[in-house]
Structure 1
Amino acid sequence: MALPSSRTAPMRPLSLCMPARPSAVTHGVRTLCLAFALAASGAATAQANPPAAATAAYDIPAGALGPALSRFAAQAGVTLSFEPSLTEGRRTGGLRGTHAVGDGFSRLLAGTGLEAVARAGGGYTLRHPAPGVPPPAAPADAQSNLLSEVRVTAQAERSAITEGSGSYASRIVTVGKGEQTLKEIPQSVTVVTRQKMDDQNLHTIDDVLAQTTGITMYDSPMGGRYVYSRGFRVDSYQYDGVNRAFYYPQANSFTSNAATLDRVEVVRGATGLLQGAGSPSATINMVRKRPTADKQLQFSASAGSWNNYRAEVDASGPLNEAGTLRGRVVASGNDRDYFYDTAKSRTGVLYGVLAADIGPQTVLTLGVSHEKLRATPFFQGLPSYSNGADLHLRRSTYLAADWNRWKSAQTSAFAELAHRFDADWSLKVTAGYVREQQDIKYAFPLGAVNPVTLAGNVMYGGLFDFKTDNKTLDLAVDGKFDAFGRRHSVSFGANTGRMFNHSDFSLMQLPGVANNVFAPVSAIAEPSDATFVARRYRGGDTETRITQSGAYGVARLSLSDPLTLVAGARVTRYRASDRDRITGDPATAPYRENGVLTPYGGLIYALTAQWSAYVSYADIFQPQNAMTAAGDMLPPVKGRNYEAGLKGELLDGKVNASLALFRLDQNNRAQEDLVNVCTRSTYCSVSTGKVRSEGLDAEISGEVARGWQVFAGYTFNHFKYLNDTANAGIDFASTYSPKHMVRVWTEYRLPGALNAWTLGGGVNFQTASSRTTGAIKLEQASYAVWSARVAYQINRNWSAALNVNNLFDKTYYQTVGAPAWGNVYGEPRSAMVTLRGTF
């Protein structure tokens, strides 16, 4: 195998230019511009000054020889060529400290019977020593670390797996069916790697998305968080590239522990080819950890502010001598309070997965996981004065009952059969099942506060009990072929999903409960479940079924050396119905769509070996249950995504960079019919609504210089109604998607004798957000939240780190709601200490 050389043509830095004016936005954008410039100039510096002869600091753990050599060569900036059979079954004692390249190779190869020989034309070759020449002796500090020889399977150089890479960049993604480089996807893509999740303590999918370019989080008044991208709510989630339907009757109650994940891939914009029905926002692909070929054991324990305690164990490796059966178990638990009074939660996850080589080219993978949540939550947020003025309540204010409860359990199982016919063609069949149960009972405040009387806020209660079963089946084929003297690739397949939900919920006003928001009392009487049902002003007991199936195909055709055409389409069949569980009557009219075609296409032009330019178009549709005056169902909402941009792979793939301009139109949105007489409903609609979202995404991620990892993203987003009976010409979704957003996080390992220390930090910045209710406008001004980290590598196996979030203790509203509800403070300054062990 051969690692690509670091000697590439000099690149000009990519910069983002904005008018220079003294504002936080300009500062954030300049930070991003600097990161882009550093990456490109770093590439040129590396090319002009090859580091092969210099010494550098390394920290490569003991383990399989092949991956260790590849990692060393990549960090040293040299080319290493060798046959994989040379390293098979061999291990190394690792390498730590400052070494020259030759000395580093000698220490890594000590006791293996191999040597690295410099080639006349540059780079190194791995070989057995010449006859009569003894192999290099193992240094004293390496001999004790050598383990007995075991059989290992070499991992491909270009792998989508981010675990163990130590990088914030990923070359390969799997969200678009099959493995593709980021440059092969003509849309904006972000990958949050395992290393970034560990460095920032991103323990849930909400934590991950809150640190992702172009994504905003909105706290739902009835629990959980909604996710928004480009002004639209995200409703497309995948596990390992397979769609999973989500349905929650009143809020987004989805939770997921990131301990089981290798990475999270986010494709922004319309992704109808991947999902069929959905909003033109983004697709989030959560890629689970898989068993490893080598034995490994990882442990972490954390303690932080507000009694936040967490522990995690992750064990993986072969289960038989031949290594044809591999397993992995991940267990994690978290017990914590919150910065607001009374609330607390306890979560846990147990995940197990087996991978078996049932043939030379066939792997069967079976996995199961169980997640539990037990919490005393605070939903609904805080009110304001009736004139929109801030109440300036303490951030610790808890306007709820001490009997609030949120119990959630999620069990999932999957089976995956992957077969490779030859070097070009592969097949993967995946079946999945998920059962989710939610039991929620809580008190919540509702009502704006009168500035004079200080009255107006009243306590209500909610009772939710629902269960959801999800079944999915996905077949995907990927291949490469030659035609017209060129190399092309194609992906096609089919999938189906069935979701059944039983939901019973009730909302009621709590009788005889006075609420003083300035002196709240959580010890209030708890009504029985029967009282909720008997006195509810809104609710119901319903069963909902959603079935979606489709077939897709996409081809990547090489039209010339620099130009590639990407063209595909999906045909979708969609069914949705719900009925009252007591009476059996339909709760809403059934919805059906047959043969909905969602095309997808793009052109990719390779400007250089590192940079490419692209344009793309994508369609999507979203069913809606609104009815016309004549009683007919409205056609689905249609979305169209136009995008043009640049993508770069710098420093031999260590750094990814992208810049995208996008426009997204959504048509056929339901609007109230103010002209015709409704024949079958109190309200009727016409499908004439149209909105537009447009803007810019820019991102850079990876190792911009030796030991310096960077993730930096900037988003500019403008959106407005183009045609609406009440809102034409004004903005939409202004609460959820600020006009400017910056996400930056960076880590730097100190050089030389201080290389055991790592310093990190970052900022999340966004411009003002607001929400208008009637004549009252609530607004959160622009703000920046800074965070920092310091880590110390105690020895080869153990490390410790201190993370401090909201370093300057900024007070702000994470979510802006209405005068009566929904205003949620962002988390104050917090600290967490983490101890990690790797064996």
Structure 2
Amino acid sequence: MATRQSSSPSALSSPWMRPAPLRLAVHLALAALAPLAAPAASWAQSASAGDIAFAISPSPLDVALGQFGVAAKVTVAASPELTRGVMTQGLSGRYTAEQGLAQLLAGTGLQAVANANGEGYRLRRAPQNAPGVSTLAPVTVLGQADSAVTEGSGSYTSRFVTIGKGLQTLKEIPQSVTVVTRQRMDDQNANTLDEVLANATGMTLYRSPMGGSYVYSRGFRVDSYQFDGVNRAFYYPQADSFTSNTVILDRVEIIRGATGLMQGAGSPSAAVNLVRKRPLAENQVQMLASGGSWNNYRADIDATGPLNESGTLRARGVASYNDREYFYDGADSRSGVLYGALSYDLGPATTLTGGVSYEELRSTPFFHGLPHYSNGDDIGLKRSTSLGQDWNRWNGKQTSVFAELAHRFNKDWSLRLTGTSTQESNDSKYAFTEGAVNPQTGLGPMLYAGLFDLSTHNKALNLDVDGAFEALGRKHSVSFGASINELTSKNDFALNRLNRAVNVWNPDHHVPEPSDDWMRENAYRSAATVVKMKQTGVYGVGRFSLADPLTLVAGARVSWYENTSRYRDSGEQYSDPYKDNGVVTPYGGLIYAFNPQWSGYVSYAQIFEPQNSLDASGKVLDPIVGKNYEVGIKGELLDGRVNTSVALFRIDQKNRAQQDLVGNCTVGDICYLSSGKVRSQGLDAEISGEVAPGWQLFAGYTFNTLKFLDDTTVTTTNFGRTVTPKHILRLWSDYRLPGNLSAWSLGAGVNYQTGSYTETRGVKVSQGSYAVWNARVGYQINKHWSAALNVNNIFDKTYYQTIGAPGWGSFYGDPRNATLTVRGTF
């Protein structure tokens, strides 16, 4: 049983999912021309005290901004798309920082916006004046509730994150944190969540044999996902079918290690927070069209802006469509995304935001992967080999509705109340093979079929309160809140033997399709169930200033969890119900600031994972407990433009169910002991941001070892495979050329990892270390249009993205491929 929740089946029947290319282009063009109301009002920021002597000659704007920042000792962040090819008249004389910046930007069509935290500025396009009206180019403050927003920053890092409860800098969280910004997603063409996580520090993907991917961090499967900080539970009866498009996201935040404070139940791997784009206070329309290898075509449009003159009502709409084939035979997919959101300022300190997203997938997939020889050796099949059938289908829908009320009582205290409702469905039917290939005869694989009908409804309500107070002459902060999450999943599946041998060198893709009724009547394994999961919790965490350089972080969560599953027809119990009441997961750390740029920390975090195995007396085992110990150093450099960290970690997980071979079972024939214990330990290192003018860098390295501490002979665990290799490197860099070549940017990177294997019944399937190199060339055509060519796997490395068992489950990684993308911003 996999737990990463799903929803019900459905085919992509909506007409908009199958538009002809011309019709699609017309719809997107019409949407782009839809009028938006006037921009929101802005407030002038008071001038900086004291005049500064400037001597900046006419030059490209990005060069001039660097000189200005050095002279004024301030940070001016700008997206490369804004500054490419823009010249400035220069700046000479004595000015305040605000006056000088306004003068420097005169005639560029840009204006400076003071950051909400009062430190530095960012650039945006200046609003267009009405005919006959002229205004000065003021420095403005744009009201924004979420200063962790990465959209428009042009950066590979963010100074703030929201995943650790409350708005915090990365240095304020005593655990390893990664932020994948909007700019990096765009530069790397990371259009799905899987593509984002595959390029994140310490994360590896194990392709699910029946759709989607399992994600691993520090040797454990990631099962904790949040949307805007609100947990979403997942459940799939077989494999993992969760997918998500990134077109609606501003950023992806990841905390590695145990995160029980944030979500209660889960594994000690990592938590992933998907932060949606929100309506902006200024008019903006973005368009994208791309085409790539294997007929991979995509079109996006994203429009936002105020809907009234005062700017108190703002809207955003996103639409995306992708039609593609794959490098392996007979597979294709069509996916679409619609997203709409509204924000309304009920008052100066209160904002109500609501939105809805809809994702739809219709595909002909190749599931279950390729086999190896029965001794584990590689067969060496062509990468285009598919063992699927032309009647395979995987159709899915996800609809999510959310509402958020944010209120700031004063400069220190704020509240956020969020409610979400998500419905997901999956309808899949496919043929797959199982069986290793005999090296002498070439026989072994046999054809099977699976039918799955899944639907899930997930509801969540979350309350967070953040505040600061003074005590004993020092300022401290606290976060506390409560949450409730309910999931109901209705599932129906059947697995069948089709009793046909498969020739893996010359597969037949046209085997007659069995009817759905026949598959249900002749299944060797099937079930129709209703699974219900409910989790509630309360939490509190404080950050206490003990001395100028020393901060204590301490808190805990108390959780209640219950799980039941019954047959859909009879209502009889399908598996043993289980629940855990009042489970406490503590969290704590010490942060020592060496200076304003560098700090060190030690931390302890815990998480629990319910289990439904019974001991000899018939009692449900205690939950599995994961404990995370971490010590590290973090740096915030170059006025926050660069974040870096190094951490040593150890995770001990205990109470894993192991079969009791001695006790007399009072219920059933098999009972268990909670005696299993495993350990994961290693090092994480990361650097991200603008390390030099025009040079954005992301580099993440992980060293990880995994071992059993108790019951080392037991193999019923993910530790039977190296889903987290010993060494992992994720590197991507993009450099904007200086001077007259500033319209050009060059990017390159590599994903490297050491060998991996799986071991099944004493047979090991393995592969050695490999590196996949990628590159990008970008060109800013003018202030509105840009183009980029991405080439992935430029040396055409042949490797397995996932290593399975001898008889199934190995998937090749993508061969060399290219994508040309054109973007427009207005």
TM above 0.5, one fold?
A: yes
Is 1:453 the counterpart of 2:441? The answer is yes
CA distance in 1, matches of 2:194, 2:492: 26
For 1:137 and 1:804, the matched residues in 2 are separated by 36
**Secondary structure at the counterpart of residue 510 of structure 1:** strand
1:800 maps onto 2:803 in alignment: no
Matching residue within 105, 129, 132 for 1:148:
129
Show the 5 A alignment for 1:378-389: 378-389=366-377
Aligned to 1:67: none
- TM (norm. structure 2) is 0.88
- C-alpha separation between the residues in 1 aligned to 2:581 and 2:104? 69
Amino acid at match of 1:77: V
Q: CA deviation at 1:72?
A: 4.4
**Does the Cα contact within 8 Å between 1:51 and 1:76 map onto a contact in 2?**
no
Deviation at 1:515, TM superposition (A): 1.2
Which of 634, 655, 658 is matched with 1:671 structurally?
A: 658
CA distance 1:360–1:140, shift in 2 (3 Å): closer
Please say if 1:546 is aligned against 2:533.
yes
1:259 is paired with a residue whose SS is coil
Match of 2:121 in 1: none
Give the aligned residue type for 2:436: A
- Return closer, same or farther for 1:796/1:414 CA change in 2, 3 Å cut-off: same
In the alignment, which residue of structure 2 is the partner of 1:407?
395
Provide closer, same or farther for how the CA distance between residues 541 and 142 of structure 1 changes in structure 2, counting only shifts above 3 A: closer
Q: Contact conserved, 1:175 with 1:241, CA < 8 A, in 2?
A: yes
1:341 has 2:334 as partner = no
Confirm whether residue 126 of structure 1 aligns to residue 102 of structure 2: no
Which position in structure 2 is the counterpart of 1:37? none
Asked if the contact 2:586–2:606 (Cα under 8 Å) also holds between the matched residues in 1, the reply is: yes
State whether structure 2 residue 237 is matched by structure 1 residue 249.
Answer: yes
1:118 Cα shift? Answer: 3.1
Q: Any idea what the Cα deviations from partners look like across 1:674-715, whole Å, max 9, x if unmatched?
A: 111222123211000000000000000000000000000000
Match of 1:41 in 2: none
Q: Does 1:827 align with 2:808?
A: no
1:482 is paired with a residue of what secondary structure? strand
Partner of 2:496: 508
Structure 1 residue 252, shift from structure 2 partner:
1.1
In the TM superposition, 1:76-225 aligns within 5 A as 76-79=69-72, 97=85, 103-104=89-90, 117-118=94-95, 124-126=97-99, 147-148=128-129, 154-155=142-143, 159-225=147-213
Q: Is the alpha carbon distance of 1:725 and 1:664 closer, same or farther for their aligned partners in structure 2, counting shifts above 3 Å?
A: closer
Which residue number corresponds to residue 109 of structure 1? none
Asked whether the equivalents of residues 430 and 473 of structure 1 are also in contact (C-alpha less than 8 Å), the reply is yes
From 405, 417, 421, the equivalent of 1:433 is: 421
1:279 is matched with 267
Q: Shift of the alpha carbon at 1:656?
A: 0.3
1:433 Cα offset (Å): 0.1
2:665–2:671 contact (8 Å) kept in structure 1: yes
How big is the shift at 1:212?
0.2
Q: Report the Cα offset of residue 94 of structure 1.
A: 7.5
The answer for the alignment partner of 2:756 in structure 1 is: 769
Residue 639 of structure 2 is aligned to residue 652 of structure 1: yes
Cα distance, 1:492–1:139 mapped onto 2, change above 3 Å = closer
Q: How does 1:603-682 map to 2 (within 5 A)?
A: 603-682=590-669
Q: Which residue of 2 aligns with 1:785?
A: 772
Report which stretch shifted further, 623-632 or 351-360.
623-632
1:436 alignment partner AA: E
Which residue number corresponds to residue 697 of structure 1?
A: 684
| Bigger relative contact order (CA 8 A; separation at least 6) | 2
- Where does structure 1 lack aligned partners over 5 or more consecutive residues? 6-49, 61-70, 83-92, 107-115, 130-134
Aligned to 1:57: 60
Q: Is the 8 A contact 1:75 1:706 kept in 2?
A: no
Query: Hey, what's the Cα distance between the residues in 1 that align with 2:271 and 2:454?
Result: 25
User: Structure 1: how far apart are the matches of 2:521 and 2:664?
Assistant: 35
Which residue of structure 2 lines up, in the alignment, with residue 270 of structure 1? 258
CA separation in 1, counterparts of 2:179 and 2:770? 25
Shift of 1:105: 5.7
User: Displacement of 1:831 after TM fit?
Assistant: 0.2
Matched residue SS, 1:178: coil
Partners of 1:644 and 1:591 lie apart in 2 by 35
**Residue 724, structure 1, aligned to residue 711, structure 2:** yes
Letter in 2 for 1:353: A
How far apart are residue 580 of structure 1 and its match?
1.0
Aligned to 1:21: none
Is 1:530 equivalent to 2:517 in the alignment?
yes
Task: Report deviation, 1:335.
Answer: 0.4
CA contact (8 A) 1:543 1:579 kept: yes
Q: Deviations over 1:373-410 (max 9, x none)?
A: 00001110000111111111000001011000000000
- State the TM-score, normalizing by the size of structure 1: 0.86
Q: Distance in 2 between matches of 1:707 and 1:426?
A: 36
CA distance in 1, matches of 2:793, 2:768: 17
How much does 1:732 deviate? Answer: 2.1
After superposition, the Cα gap between the structure-2 partners of 1:177 and 1:685, relative to the gap in structure 1 and judged at 3 Å, is same
Pairwise CA distance, 1:809:
0.2
User: Any residues of structure 2 matched to 1:732-747 within 5 Å, and which?
Assistant: 732=719, 734-747=721-734
| Shift of residue 223, structure 1, vs aligned partner | 1.6
In the alignment, is the contact (CA less than 8 A) between 2:85 and 2:782 conserved in 1?
no
Q: Which amino acid aligns with 2:263?
A: Q
> Residues 617 and 665 of structure 2 are in contact (CA less than 8 Å); yes or no, is this contact kept in structure 1?
yes
Deviations 1:179-212, CA, capped at 9 Å, x for gaps: 1000000000000000000000000100100000
Q: Which residue in 1 is equivalent to 2:381?
A: 393
Structure 1 residue identity aligned to 2:268? P
> Distance in 2 between the 1:351 and 1:784 partners?
36
Following TM superposition, by how much is the alpha carbon of 1:314 offset from its aligned partner in structure 2, in angstroms? 0.2
Q: Within the alignment, does 1:561 sit opposite 2:542 as a pair?
A: no
Aligned-partner Cα distance in 1 for 2:591–2:83 = 41
Q: Is the 8 A contact 1:117 1:126 kept in 2?
A: no
Partners of 2:448 and 2:651 lie apart in 1 by: 39
Q: Distance in 2 between matches of 1:280 and 1:611?
A: 27
Q: Secondary structure at the match of 2:200?
A: coil
Distance 1:592 1:602 in 2: 30
Q: How big is the shift at 1:75?
A: 7.4
Q: For 2:675 and 2:420, how far apart are their aligned partners in 1?
A: 38
Distance in 1 (CA, whole Å) between partners of 2:101 and 2:170 is: 38
The amino acid of 1:284's aligned partner reads V
Hey, what's the Cα distance between the residues in 1 that align with 2:82 and 2:731?
32
Match of 1:309 in 2: 297
Q: Label 1:656 to 1:138 Cα distance change in 2 as closer, same or farther (>3 A).
A: closer
Distance 1:105-1:160 versus aligned 2 partners, 3 A rule: farther
Shift in Å at residue 583 of structure 1?
Answer: 2.0
What is aligned with 1:63?
A: none
- Aligned counterparts of 1:98 and 1:508: Cα–Cα separation in 2: 64
The 10-residue stretch of structure 1 (513-522 or 281-290) with the greater mean CA deviation from structure 2 = 513-522
- Indicate the residue corresponding to 1:685 in structure 2: 672
Checking the alignment, whether the CA contact within 8 Å between 2:84 and 2:780 is kept in structure 1 is no
Q: CA deviation at 1:254?
A: 0.5
Match of 1:112 in 2: none
Contact 1:2 1:79 in 2 (8 A): no
Q: How many residues align?
A: 755
Counterpart secondary structure, 2:455: strand
Give the 3 Å change call, closer, same or farther, for CA 275–56 of structure 1 in structure 2.
Answer: farther
CA RMSD of superposed structures (Å) = 2.8
Deviations 1:1-38, CA, capped at 9 Å, x for gaps: 59999xxxxxxxxxxxxxxxxxxxxxxxxxxxxxxxxx
Q: Residues 665 and 227 of structure 1: is their aligned pair in 2 closer, same or farther, counting only changes over 3 Å?
A: same
Q: What is residue 419 of structure 1 aligned with on the other side?
A: 407
* d(CA) in 2 for partners of 1:725, 1:96: 58
User: What letter matches 2:129 in structure 1?
Assistant: S
> In structure 2, what is the Cα distance between the partners aligned to 1:784 and 1:580?
47
Aligned partners of 2:338 and 2:359 also within 8 Å: yes
- 2:104 and 2:584 map into 1 onto residues whose CA distance is 64
Task: Give how far 1:125 is off.
Answer: 4.3
